[in-house]
Amino acid sequence: MKKIFYAVAITFISVSVWAQSEAIYTFNLFNQLNFNPAYAGSKEVLDAGVIYRNQWHSGIDGSPKNINLYGHMPIARSRSGVGLNVLTDKIGLDNVLTVSGNYAYRIKFKKGNVLALGLNARVENARSDWNEANEGVDVGDGDIGAGVESRSTFNVGPGVFFKNRKFYLGASLPRMLANSLYGDTDKFSGAVNTWFLQGGLSIPVGRNVELLPNVQARINPSAPFDIDLNLNLMFSDALMVGAMYRLDDSIDGLLVYQFKNGLRLGAAYDFTVSELRKATNGSFELMIGYTFPCEDCQIKSLRYF
């Protein structure tokens, strides 16, 4: 019965999460394409990777498990950028598949300043298997659905991204339409859309050492204010050690190493500090990526801007 309770509870929680925001990762800095289409092509080379997140992995049956596959690159002599972002979410009784295409128009200024304007178009499919919830309950219970339900929606969202060697700023609205799980409508509604605001700095603190503080705020009129505060140290453009605080949720640690051939490996762990700590120890993520080499440009390949 405990398994059924958690599965159903997380399913109803996830309905609200899908409608309000994107999947949130501790490694979101390495794939800002997930919430800002203007990030496409920002690394000036082809960059691709996959992130696996197992949320509340201990103590809660039916907890979210996410896979994020992404790739993006500049085109047209770096005047534009394109990217593909694919997410699969297993949350309680539900499986969600999201496929989005991203385009960024990039305006280059002097001294390495770049302003990008982006747009994404996405298709989402949510599939709910109520047979799992019906295990152990009386047949015909009118409060629980039956069989398998599936629904698909289309959405679009804009973004802006500015960067240079010292800092970056971004703002985006990944979903403009209020149709994700609110109802069959293609209307914009400021009451349900989540705005993403993000920024970061690069501060040299020693020979081959950079301090990289970052912040991401998520603003939604129908949800509590949410913010990530992140601080990373990067050594010799190869090793990154970082910590993050997610408001009223977790304290996170991350470790990333990039090999000279462009292969990038990372691991992160979120230590739960909310009331959920009574049921779970936390969440973990694994990341593997590859930054393709560029013969005629100098790229700090482990950097994310």
The answer on pLDDT for 18 being more than 50 is no
Domain boundaries, the chain: 2-291
* Digit-coded pLDDT (tens) for 247-280: 999 999 999 999 999 999 999 999 999 887 787 7
Q: Residue 156's pLDDT is what?
A: 94
Q: Residue 56's pLDDT is what?
A: 74
Average pLDDT over residues 221-226: 87
* SS3 assignment, position 104: strand
CATH architecture of 2-291: Beta Barrel (2.40)
How far apart are alpha carbons 44 and 148 in whole angstroms?
Answer: 44
Helix or strand run (H / E) with residue 231: strand 226-235
pTM: 0.86
* Digit-coded pLDDT (tens) for 149-183: 888 889 999 999 999 999 999 999 998 887 655 45
* SS3 assignment, position 169: strand
Q: Residue 2's pLDDT is what?
A: 43
**189 or 41, which is more confident:** 41
Output the average pLDDT for the chain. 85
pLDDT confidence band for 145 (50 / 70 / 90): low
Across 75-79, 124-128, 153-157, 175-179, least confident range: 175-179
Place of tokens 């990333």: 256
